Amino acid sequence: MERIELSIPGEVPYEIVLGQGILPFLGEELEALSVSGSLMVITDTEVGKRYLPTLKNALEKTGFQVSVVTVPSGEEAKSVQCAAEVWRAMADCKLSRDSYVLALGGGVVGDLAGFCASTFMRGLQVVQIPTTLLSMVDSSVGGKTAINLDLGKNLVGSFWQPVMVCADISLLQSLPEREWTCGCGEIVKSAVIDSPSFFDWLTSHSDGLQQRDPEVVQEAIKRCVTFKASVVTRDKNETAGVRECLNYGHTLAHAIEAFSGYGVYSHGHAVAQGMRFASRLAAGLGYCDFDFVCAQDELLDRFGLTEITLNGSSEELLALMKVDKKVRHGVLRFVLPFDYGVWEVQDLSDELVDQYLQAWLASQQH
């Protein structure tokens, strides 16, 4: 078991607990944090069937009172309607300011539970228990919470740090291949924007990660979490221009997800397309060379994050990108790579982005 501390200025430090077989001992971990009061577990229908009994037993054997809210599986749970149902359940269960919310699931559950906890009674404490590779390497760490609107993804949300993240990698062995590949997309993203050493390590251990070798998986998660922690500690609320690097590939990715319909492409697969596009933008502007673009493409291909074909226009995608949270005064902003671990956020004109979108869409037809 490994413990990675995330210490953010103005926040209580918390740990990301990483290892095998942690879930059955979560009650003891919460006792060590001096957690008291009632607990509410928020999970989804699929994860609940598999892991809720183990979690409930772990909590109840240490004397905690536990209530459970189960939401639908999938992106549809990140809705205003679903959030309202969770708030109602919190009120019905008489949660109070000393209650804790435990998010048992992937990124959707983590986002929804975190957002509802951050807003109910002006804030309840949260424990993140990620059950997917994507949520372990990314969304469970850093305090971003959100729900979707019809206009776009993650448009309503808050920054709300958890008191602990419990990443039990034994939960990943049964993860469907699509979800595994999705998480690999975020791992490649982290490697590209972190450092040459992370990118080289991932390139040399790609087979082990695909085969779900426990040691390789744990090391990959550790590297991602350590990198993200170093970013978040310097820019908690994404106001200092540091945390924006974590959005590499996401400007186009969110547009692809909205255009195609949430769930058609996994988030990681959409991010991979966004990374391909952003690297070509950067190369065209002279920021990085095409060796960088090719190396990134090759690593994405190794994980099955291949190019997709979109039956849409550049105008449609551009309009969706304009809803992106990084937009300032109506101007698109892209995280552009110069090299591994070297990047800048650039304001780009609609005309320039449209030109590259047209070329990117045309290349998919060949």
Q: How confident is the model at residue 366 (pLDDT cuts 50, 70, 90)?
A: low
Domain hosting 259: range is: 177-363
Q: Are residues 258 and 139 both part of a single domain?
A: no
Domain final residue pick, 172, 193, 222 = 172
Q: Are residues 237 and 156 both part of a single domain?
A: no
Over 80: is that where the pLDDT of 291 sits? yes
pLDDT digits (tens, 9 = 90+) for 113-166: 999 999 999 999 999 999 999 999 999 999 999 999 888 788 999 999 999 999
> Which segment of 29-38, 45-54, 108-117 scores lowest on mean pLDDT?
29-38
Q: Are residues 342 and 245 both part of a single domain?
A: yes
- Range ranked top by mean pLDDT from 137-151, 214-228, 252-266, 302-316: 214-228
CATH number of the domain where residue 272 is located: 1.20.1090.10
Does residue 326 carry a catalytic annotation? no
Does residue 228 carry a catalytic annotation? yes
Does residue 222 carry a catalytic annotation? no
Alpha carbon of 236 to those of 65, 97, 190, 320: distances in Å?
32, 23, 17, 26
Q: Is 165 left (phi over 0), alpha (psi -120 to 50) or beta?
A: beta
Q: Exactly one of 148, 247, 276, 333 is catalytic; which is it?
A: 247
Over 80: is that where the pLDDT of 306 sits? yes
Does residue 189 carry a catalytic annotation? no
Q: Exactly one of 56, 267, 269, 325 is catalytic; which is it?
A: 267
Contacts of 73 (CB under 8 A, 6+ apart): 44, 45, 46, 47, 108
pTM above 0.85, yes or no: yes
Q: What is the pLDDT of residue 152?
A: 79
Contact indicator for 282, 288 with CB cutoff of 8 Å: yes
CA distance 215 to 197: 18
Q: What is the pLDDT of residue 4?
A: 95
CATH number of the domain where residue 160 is located: 3.40.50.1970
Q: Which residues of 204-228 are buried (b: 16+ CB within 10 A; e: fewer)?
A: ebbeebbeeeeebbbbbbbbbbbbb
Tell me the mean pLDDT in the region 207-223.
Answer: 97
Q: Are residues 258 and 142 both part of a single domain?
A: no
Does residue 257 carry a catalytic annotation? no
Contact indicator for 192, 199 with CB cutoff of 8 Å: yes
Q: Are residues 257 and 312 both part of a single domain?
A: yes
Q: Which two tokens stand for residue 194?
A: 């972190």
Q: Are residues 223 and 312 both part of a single domain?
A: yes
Over 80: is that where the pLDDT of 62 sits? yes
Q: Are residues 149 and 295 both part of a single domain?
A: no
Tell me the mean pLDDT in the region 204-220.
Answer: 97
Q: What is the pLDDT of residue 161?
A: 96
Does residue 315 carry a catalytic annotation? no
Q: Are residues 120 and 209 both part of a single domain?
A: no
Side chain identity, residue 87: W
Domain final residue pick, 172, 207, 227 = 172
Q: Are residues 48 and 10 both part of a single domain?
A: yes
Radius of gyration of the chain (CA): 20
For the chain, what is the domain count? Answer: 2
Q: Are residues 157 and 72 both part of a single domain?
A: yes
N- to C-terminal Cα distance for the chain?
Answer: 48
Q: Exactly one of 179, 186, 244, 257 is catalytic; which is it?
A: 186
Does residue 269 carry a catalytic annotation? no
Tell me the mean pLDDT in the region 70-85.
Answer: 96
Q: Are residues 125 and 188 both part of a single domain?
A: no
How much is the mean pLDDT over the chain? 95
Q: Are residues 159 and 197 both part of a single domain?
A: no
Domain final residue pick, 112, 139, 172 = 172
CA distance 58 to 239: 39
Q: Exactly one of 179, 219, 238, 244 is catalytic; which is it?
A: 238
